[in-house]
Structure 1
């Protein structure tokens, strides 16, 4: 065996990549052995391939999938730093979202109330409200709830309340809200709208914010007090009420955020959940 040929077992120990993984990378063309024994099919690598193997392991440790690893290594071979920065920026955003989720889980586990599924909260009895049509500033896009909602809220608030101390850009007439336009929960590519009720004229030049009229309707409503991850219990209470009163959803749900998480403890966060409803049709 030539000196520069490294058996797959030794190459596995050097790079900390399992032989099973190395065979997969060979099949994908991601890390192809320099030589293969004609009789046994045994794979051999070169010392020059060690760097690529270690780079693959490092990218996998950072959380990239194999397709992303392939794209990053191809971009590196082309000297395309821009593409690599884009991949790293996306992975950083995903990691920060996961850190936030884990912090929230840790806080719940630290202060859990076992009788309420781990959340300290209260929920009011549901009521029916007739809500008029409402003019509002709006941002709507597709994305991930945990990332898009706080960012879009920040964009609207930054427009309305300029950081340089100028007068507010609009007269606010109600709490900011999240409107869910999907009929099912989506981990990604969710249809998300954030809206802030206003009155009077606004100048939206140079912004991605629009003005919409939220439709009037008859809404079932419940008020949740407690951390945002526990709001699911409010939906549970609301749907039980709707079932009891023979009501069915008639449009997108709304979550109204009645106070600021930067100003009050999590246990005091107020979220009103609203669902437009109509009576269940009578059976023939």
Structure 2
């Protein structure tokens, strides 16, 4: 008997099943190995695989999902679900794909501007000014984090710090995030979320009691002169925000100033309530 010979009326050889599913036997063996579509029966003596006709639809579904470059784990979730749940999981995956492609499209436009020598045109869209920031006591949380993880971490860490600040005299100024080193897809900072608080002694007591295991600390931010530009919620997204940082750096050099510390993002608005075109953040560099 060969692997393409029939076993009985209910089971199909891999060759017959592959023809009905419009797939190759090689693809079916791969799906079996990946745990996405197992044969209904494997002959112990020969190792030949046999399938049921009812598995054809699943085989075709797996093949189409793979054409979407869907990761194997998510394919398994879709094919294991029933009806509407499977459709919902496909929709969720495709929403992630579209968000990623939108970000890549924006990055391409940004890079085209740089490579074509239109950087000055991009920078000209940002108004840069200097402001004096008084000394501040801050409670902070520092984390090594990659760019893809950054938005979620910023929101979560500032939430934790603002909650702690309620026991430290309250929040006295806009929260901010300091980048002590580059954060990108390959470089993980670190970044430091900071919330200014009113009572230094209470903040230090709170951190000693609750915050050390979470990497929180209290420090005093000195008086600083900041060069900054204000951006909208839409512009906070990567890579739009890169143009804002570069615009401030270019302005600092043009004005003959020196950078006097790590760059930061100052979040002065209610993020959840803000619309895409509402100002929410200052991109800032300490200068001297």
Give the TM-score normalised by structure 2: 0.57
d(CA) in 1 for partners of 2:74, 2:260: 45
Report the equivalent of 1:87. Answer: none
Report the equivalent of 2:136. Answer: 134
Q: 1:21 to 1:100 in 2, by over 3 A?
A: closer
Pairing of 1:231-250 with structure 2 (within 5 A): 231-245=241-255
Report the equivalent of 1:255. Answer: 265
d(CA) in 1 for partners of 2:249, 2:176: 20
Q: Which structure 2 segments of 5+ residues have no match?
A: 81-88, 107-121
d(CA) in 2 for partners of 1:95, 1:187: 24
Report the equivalent of 1:221. Answer: 227
Q: Alpha-carbon deviations, 1:87-136, whole Å to 9, x = none?
A: xxxx9xx969949958x98xx9xxxxxxxxxx9xx732233x56565321
Report the CA distance between 1:183 and its aligned residue.
1.9
Report the CA distance between 1:177 and its aligned residue.
1.0
Report the CA distance between 1:257 and its aligned residue.
0.9
d(CA) in 1 for partners of 2:189, 2:94: 19
Q: Which structure 1 segments of 5+ residues have no match?
A: 77-90, 109-118, 162-167, 279-284
Report the CA distance between 1:273 and its aligned residue.
1.3
Report the equivalent of 2:163. Answer: 158
Q: 1:65 aligns with which of 65, 71, 87?
A: 71
Report the equivalent of 1:86. Answer: none
Report the equivalent of 1:198. Answer: 197
- Is 1:175 the counterpart of 2:170? The answer is no
Q: Larger helix proportion, structure 1 or 2?
A: 2
Q: Are 2:174 and 2:266, in contact at CA under 8 Å, matched by a contact in 1?
A: yes
d(CA) in 2 for partners of 1:248, 1:13: 70
Mean Cα deviation higher: 264-273 or 23-32:
23-32
Q: Are 2:232 and 2:280, in contact at CA under 8 Å, matched by a contact in 1?
A: yes
Report the equivalent of 1:88. Answer: none
- Is 1:10 the counterpart of 2:9? The answer is no
Aligned residues: 237
d(CA) in 1 for partners of 2:218, 2:98: 31
Q: Larger strand proportion, structure 1 or 2?
A: 1
d(CA) in 2 for partners of 1:158, 1:97: 32
Q: Are 1:97 and 1:146, in contact at CA under 8 Å, matched by a contact in 2?
A: no
Q: 1:263 to 1:32 in 2, by over 3 A?
A: closer
